[in-house]
Amino acid sequence: KQEVTQIPAALSVPEGENLVLNCSFTDSAIYNLQWFRQDPGKGLTSLLLIQSSQREQTSGRLNASLDKSSGRSTLYIAASQPGDSATYLCAVREGQGNLIFGKGTKLSVKP
Amino acid sequence: DGGITQSPKYLFRKEGQNVTLSCEQNLNHDAMYWYRQDPGQGLRLIYYSQIVNDFQKGDIAEGYSVSREKKESFPLTVTSAQKNPTAFYLCASRPLPGTGDETQYFGPGTRLLVL
């Protein structure tokens, strides 16, 4: 059964720092992987989607990489800002489109 | 504005009562999903539907029921059989594969509390 793990569970950094969030999954037979952002008490916002055939995707200050063979993905955030403070969730898609989620990394960027 | 709406934002349930959470989307998506989120936990799939009048159980369907009579609507009923319903409930939708959009879109959520 697919399991998705995110490390660390929480991270606090000063503004301006570059940072990396990690996601690992146990079964490499995935269709794609998505990174989401969740603000407190809100729904999820999709940040980046990487197909299984891709190595990385970029959007602004965000870069997500995928190494399917090793079961790992990273989300790189450049020049972090207080507005980046949120919980970041990683999810892998299998089969009929069902996503399997990690528990998330809670990021706090201090001014 | 295209998107997913969920109502109400907060819902209170008395013991033994059934309550229904609403989810509506105007994205013309075929697939719709219900997830439950508990503090410090990832999202867990309750039910999903890929087409009108058809739906499947997810990982934690016990104590819940759904219907899909219209493409844009996927209401979730939390029955009295669900003994620990306090959680944040998220509805999502996605186009079927082959449309070029693989992203799953989420509504703003409904927080259910037990009185």
Q: What percent of chain A shows pLDDT beyond 90? A: 93
Looking up tokens 């219907």 gives B67
pLDDT at position A106 is 96
pLDDT at position B39 is 87
Q: What is the DSSP code string of B27-76?
A: S--SEEEEEEE-TT--EEEEEEEEETTEEEE-TT-TTEEE--SBTTB--E
Q: What is the mean pLDDT of chain B?
A: 93
Mean pLDDT of all residues in A100-111 = 96
pLDDT at position A96 is 64
Per CB-CB distance under 8 Å, the chain B contacts of A43 are 4, 6, 90, 106-109
- For residue A95, pLDDT over 80 is answered with no
* Residue A43 contacts residue B106 (beta carbons within 8 Å): yes
Report how far Cα A87 is from the mean position of its chain's Cα atoms: 9
Q: For B93-115, how does the pLDDT look when each residue is reduced to its tens digit (9 = 90+)?
A: 998 777 778 889 999 999 999 88
* Confidence band, pLDDT 50/70/90 cuts, at residue B16: confident
Closest CA to A97 of B75, B69, B99, B72: B99
Contact A97 B94 (CB under 8 A): yes
pLDDT at position B1 is 58
Per CB-CB distance under 8 Å, the chain B contacts of A102 are 42
- A111 CB-contact burial (10 Å; exposed 0-12 / middle 13-18 / buried 19+): exposed
Contact B103 A43 (CB under 8 A): no
- Find the residue in B nearest to A6 (Cα): B42
* Residue B58 contacts residue B43 (beta carbons within 8 Å): no
Q: Which residues of A touch B (CB under 8 A)?
A: 4, 32, 34, 36, 41-46, 49, 51, 89, 91, 93, 96-99, 101-104
pLDDT at position A97 is 66
pLDDT at position B98 is 77
Q: For A51-74, how does the pLDDT look when each residue is reduced to its tens digit (9 = 90+)?
A: 999 999 999 999 999 999 999 999
Adjacent-strand bridge partners of A74: A22, A65
- For residue B2, pLDDT over 80 is answered with no
- For residue A81, pLDDT over 70 is answered with yes
Q: What is the mean pLDDT of chain A?
A: 95
pLDDT at position B77 is 97
Those residues whose C-beta lies under 8 Å from the C-beta of residue A47, and which sit 6 or more positions away, are: A34, A35, A36, A37, A59, A62, A64, A75, A88
Helix (H, G, I), strand (E, B) or coil at B115: coil
Q: Which residues of B25-58 are buried (b: 16+ CB within 10 A; e: fewer)?
A: beeebbbbbbbbbeeeebbbbbbbbbeeeebeeb
Q: For B46-70, how does the pLDDT look when each residue is reduced to its tens digit (9 = 90+)?
A: 999 999 999 999 999 999 999 999 9
Q: For A3-47, how does the pLDDT look when each residue is reduced to its tens digit (9 = 90+)?
A: 999 999 999 999 999 999 999 999 999 999 999 999 999 999 999
